[in-house]
Amino acid sequence: MGSLKDFARLSGTIYVAGAWTKSAATTQIEVVDPATEEVIGHIADTTDAEIDQAISIANQVRKDWWRQDSRSRAVTLHDIAARIRRDKALYAEALTREEGKPFKEAVDEVSWCATAIDYYAELARHETGRIAGTTVPGQFHFAVKEPLGTVVIVLPFNYPLVLLCWEAAAALAAGNAVIVKPHEQTSLTTLKFMELFETLPAGLMQVVTGGGRVGQRLIESRDTHAVAYTGSVAIGQHVARTCAEHFKPCLIEASGNDPMIIMPSAPLDMAARGAAFAAYLNCGQVCTSAERFYVHEKVHDQFVEKLVAEAKKLRIGNGLEKVDMGPLATLKQRDRFEGMLAKARQQGAKFATGGGRPQGLNRGWFVEPTVLTEVTPDMEILNEEPFGPVAPVCRVRDFDQAIELANRSRYGLGANLYTLDMDEAFRAVSEVESGILWINAPLLDNDALPFGGRKLSGTGRQLGPEGLNQFQNTKFVMIDPKASNQDFWWFPYQDSEAYRG
């Protein structure tokens, strides 16, 4: 119950200049526990004046942070990571109460925060620039990496802490200040999470809560210098257009509609377990959830039977109990998901299992894990992101058709393949149009390798050196220590070099 007391204390606050203060906002937004439908707190719709104050503070503090040596910045970040590991259960409880995911998944998410911070703390000490061979004897030519300034991070509800740390760790390690606009559903957890960042200089990391207006003011400000946004395609496009007005760098991670291909050589028991995990993790609210299943006709029926069995095993309920799947995060999300299932039924899909609400769970935004069959490529359920626990299965005749249908999407975030045929595996590497490809190992991440997509899934990358580069400016420097004569190209030009007709 500790988190509920924290939510009461944090309700209506913002985190500015290293302190939680009550916002002057007159508009408050209720936060509802998705498992109980109980109001557990409220957040402020931060005022314009408070947003501008946070921006001003960030721009003052970031300069001193950049003046520190890289080792000192790394030590501070490692200390934050250690505190996260020590107290991860406290923040996992808060996350489960606000977002709904099982406590085990929340603990995993908080743990991933620590590894990302540790990774960038060290990487930033190495990725500081490079030296190149000169083009003139006696000179020194090199490039240095500098921070961009104040970075705005706009977060979704589904993974609010790990996405915060993927981006903020890179931005801070690169020498920037950070202002966070969390999703309305998970703002209280984000405010509580700031306890772990108190060792940073006051104002280097700040949180302002509220709706779209708050994010828009941060993004359009001339005094913010980069944006990282995770959310819908439509808003991502608006963010990109706003950033373009000032040529402000932006990292956009928008929707996904990831395919999973199942081939005859795949071990079907393992493939079915992997498919269930990829479809139902966090109640299907993962941008890289497997949402389109293309299954070879030779193994289609066997695979569906095994996937249905895996779906029926899942324990559904409050994430603070012994369960495998919690509720959807909001009533709006459940209404949308159920609408997509109804459309799939209308278009001819068959429900092998699920499609309704679990018995005995009369409160909360719970739905059943669902498997659809007789799905055709033109159905809406295969062409839009359901963001819920559904596995639509489409029969394919061969690998060529599977690749063709996998690529026939407006999105290109991740993709999955189960096969033991190495020819198929390496064809997928070169032919699948995605930013991420998992072969026989769905949804794993690696801090040292980039995460991001193609097409309408966004632009830019999180994680890896690429994630650090998102928040750095590269400056080319040329030094002549002796300020020597450079007549080989200075004025006056030699008469012998003139055009002679």
Please give the Cα distance from 186 to 174 (Å, whole number).
Answer: 26
Q: pLDDT tens for residues 39-57?
A: 999 999 999 999 999 999 9
Long-range contacts, 161-164 (Cβ 8 Å, 24+): 161/91, 161/95, 161/109, 161/110, 161/113, 161/189, 161/190, 161/193, 162/109, 162/110, 162/112, 162/113, 162/116, 163/230, 163/253, 163/462, 164/113, 164/190, 164/193
Q: What region does 355 belong to: left with phi over 0, alpha with psi -120 to 50, or beta?
A: left
| Confidence tier at 1 by pLDDT (50, 70, 90) | low
Please give the Cα distance from 455 to 119 (Å, whole number).
Answer: 28
End-to-end CA distance of the chain: 90
The first and second tokens of residue 129, run together, are 């620039």
Residue 253: active-site member: yes
Please give the Cα distance from 123 to 128 (Å, whole number).
Answer: 9
* Mean pLDDT, range 264-269, rounded to an integer: 98
Polymer length in residues for the chain:
501
Residues of the chain with CATH 3.40.605.10: 15-254+457-477
Classified as helix, coil or strand, 325 is strand
| Confidence tier at 212 by pLDDT (50, 70, 90) | very high
| pLDDT the model gives residue 356 | 98
The architecture (CATH level 2) of 15-254+457-477 comes to: 3-Layer(aba) Sandwich (3.40)
Residue 182 identity (one-letter amino acid): P
In DSSP terms, 22 is beta-bridged to 13
* CB 198 within 8 Å of CB 54: no
3-state helix, strand, coil in the chain (%, to 5): 40, 20, 35
Classified as helix, coil or strand, 275 is helix
Catalytic: which of 99, 253, 368, 385?
253
Please give the Cα distance from 92 to 87 (Å, whole number).
Answer: 9
Q: Compute φ and ψ for 75, nearest 5 degrees.
A: -60, -45
Helical axes 399-407 vs 422-431, angle rounded to 10°: 20
Residue 273 reports pLDDT greater than 90: yes
| Confidence tier at 37 by pLDDT (50, 70, 90) | very high
Q: Compute φ and ψ for 281, nearest 5 degrees.
A: -55, 135
| pLDDT the model gives residue 300 | 98
The architecture (CATH level 2) of 258-439 comes to: 3-Layer(aba) Sandwich (3.40)
Q: Any idea what DSSP says for residue 26?
A: S
Residue 18 identity (one-letter amino acid): G
Residues of the chain with CATH 3.40.309.10: 258-439
